[in-house]
Structure 1
């Protein structure tokens, strides 16, 4: 199945080439027509993808807020169910975390007093899973694990503390936690050092789908340099493979269609209900809304393509290392965890690298 029909795609691509300031009145009428035609058939996956693109482009033209169409209310599902679908069924989230968790558990288990610095810790689900994996790891040397969690949203940190504490009660080692409510780019090396225990034998930094929110290239470089100087034993990075950082609207449109079109096709393969598939797509449509709908000064979904992350690692003195690991599974719902790349792992769908998973020292 194609993510969007050729005629509509060509029309939207032509409009993107003139976005945002060179659209004629006729162009705007074409955009409106695509939007309203697609919204009448949202049960059709092709129409739904056209709707997400056209909605975001309308927002860019209007320079205002984008609202979900009232017809989409019937696709609402509870947030807890959406979270379950993302973690259990959506292979990019599941396989990516399975890969990085396996690598981190193996490395942490060789230390007695390791530090896990989680950048964008959220509600602590991934850290709790790592604690559980360490607790079950044969031959683990861990006597005390210190978690340093960085997260800009205070409510998430409250949930993270609860989830980590619950996981710690089942671990045969001590778990301590320090948190900081802030963005990583706002923290100096002294700020990070203050989050560390007096004694430790290895700092491992994990950033799962978080660092693309750092707005400027210079800020990203400083963050990498700061982590390198801390020093971390490893920076473990999970990121989508698509250049949405570029300010060129037409290029960003092309990259957006390729990346999110693949995500939508992956969702179509999942063994879940049609309503749940649409709900997952609408979750990602909010990212499309940001990539194509928001002004350059307020966009936050500024993904790098794989080669851009590789260049940043090299520029800041990190060496990419392909750690050997034994994974309990490498495929999920038609998506493959690629284990044969020379310098990284990746999730691959129909031959396309969707997310890149780095271990850098």
Structure 2
């Protein structure tokens, strides 16, 4: 695969409008040859990249090979693998949840707004740990979940309302993309009385397609005056419009993710299933047309710039966590303005703990 990457990178520099017949033939050969050896890690990654590039050439239409069905596993098992086995996800959640607990525990009637709550499993895990805090003052917690997928929101409702906790939990759900909501609509989701507001967004806001909409959402969050705005995101500039540059960024980021997956003590079929989960993202980053792409991750510097231009101050309230290293993946706490999950000296995910600047 090390020999294939420079070839694919060279082809990517010619996409979408300067591809030669020789480029197309080379791409097709890489795709077909890799397809025959998907049990080999390098071939799998080459196949995933070549597949996305072919999809881009066909105008964003997916032509995934039926052979990949042999790697399918139940969705619930896939999410278990992501959260419980993949250290990139588990260390990010360890960091974020510890910061959420620290932010909520000393209040009696707090509100936690989760943007892109999904099925609510991060919040469930956090609440179960929060319930064990001996110094917790919480009597009633309101969870406000904003989510664009109805099925996920229904699952979150079920997961949160079936918890047995020493405090009351009220769940307020709202089906929407946060960037399509007005400030008044967001504000109306909050209860009349509460003693603090914490806002969490985990792996959701990079789906906002336009930079202006990201700035608008951040300005709305600032206007709500939360005690804390906590953001967890993958690290790679996939907002980049130039295809060749975006390919290089994606190949580095997902190449490291695939390497981490290969270190896990799970079955080969489960490793392949995890890789195919991330291949859906690669299909979007490198396969979709610019107008339809939604996987538009930012690099660290881009998030930092957005925080600062919308009036947020970055802080680092915790310097240690219950787990900070798993199989060579490290949660770094010594960075000046954020936490990061790092593999081979590359940041894979970030966690930002911020407060609105109050002059």
TM-score interval, smaller chain: over 0.9
Equivalent residue, structure 1, for 2:185: 191
State the 1:196 CA deviation: 0.8
SS class of match (1:319): strand
* Residue 334 of structure 1: how far off its partner (Å): 2.2
**Which segments of 5 or more consecutive residues in structure 2 lack a partner in the other structure?**
none
Is there any run of 5+ residues in structure 1 with no aligned partner, and where? none
Counterparts of 1:70-89 in structure 2, within 5 Å, are 70-89=66-85
Matched, 1:92 2:88: yes
Q: CA RMSD in A?
A: 1.0
Question: Residue in 2 aligned with 1:310?
Answer: 304
Which residue in the other structure is 1:49 paired with? 45
TM-score (norm 1): 0.97
Decide whether the 8 Å contact of 1:215 with 1:302 is kept in 2. yes
Structure 2-normalised TM-score?
0.97
Cα distance 1:86–1:229, how it changes in 2: closer, same or farther (>3 A)? same
Q: How far is 1:326 from its partner?
A: 4.3
Residue 350 of structure 2 corresponds to which residue in structure 1? 356
Cα deviations by residue, 1:135-173 (Å, 9 ceiling, x for unpaired)? 111110111100000000111111101100112xx2111
Tell me how far apart the structure 2 counterparts of residues 43 and 210 of structure 1 sit (CA, whole Å): 31
The residue aligned with 2:313 is: 319
Residues 60 and 289 of structure 2 are in contact (CA less than 8 Å); yes or no, is this contact kept in structure 1?
A: no
Aligned pairs (5 A) from 1:32-181: 32-167=28-163, 170-181=164-175
The answer on whether the counterparts of 1:89 and 1:333 sit within 8 Å (CA) in structure 2 is no
Conserved in 2, the CA contact under 8 Å of 1:318 and 1:360? yes
Match of 1:286 among 274, 280, 286: 280
Residue 312 of structure 2: SS of its match in structure 1? coil
Query: In 1, distance between residues paired with 2:218 and 2:305?
Result: 12
Between the aligned partners of 1:304 and 1:286, the Cα distance in structure 2 is 18
Q: Distance in 2 between matches of 1:326 and 1:334?
A: 17
Aligned to 1:5: 2
Q: 2:218 aligns with which of 220, 224, 228?
A: 224
Q: In structure 2, which of residues 209, 222, 226 is the aligned counterpart of residue 215 of structure 1?
A: 209
**Could you list the runs of 4 or more consecutive aligned residues of structure 1 that deviate by over 4 angstroms after TM superposition?**
none
Which deviates further from its counterpart, 269-278 or 63-72?
63-72
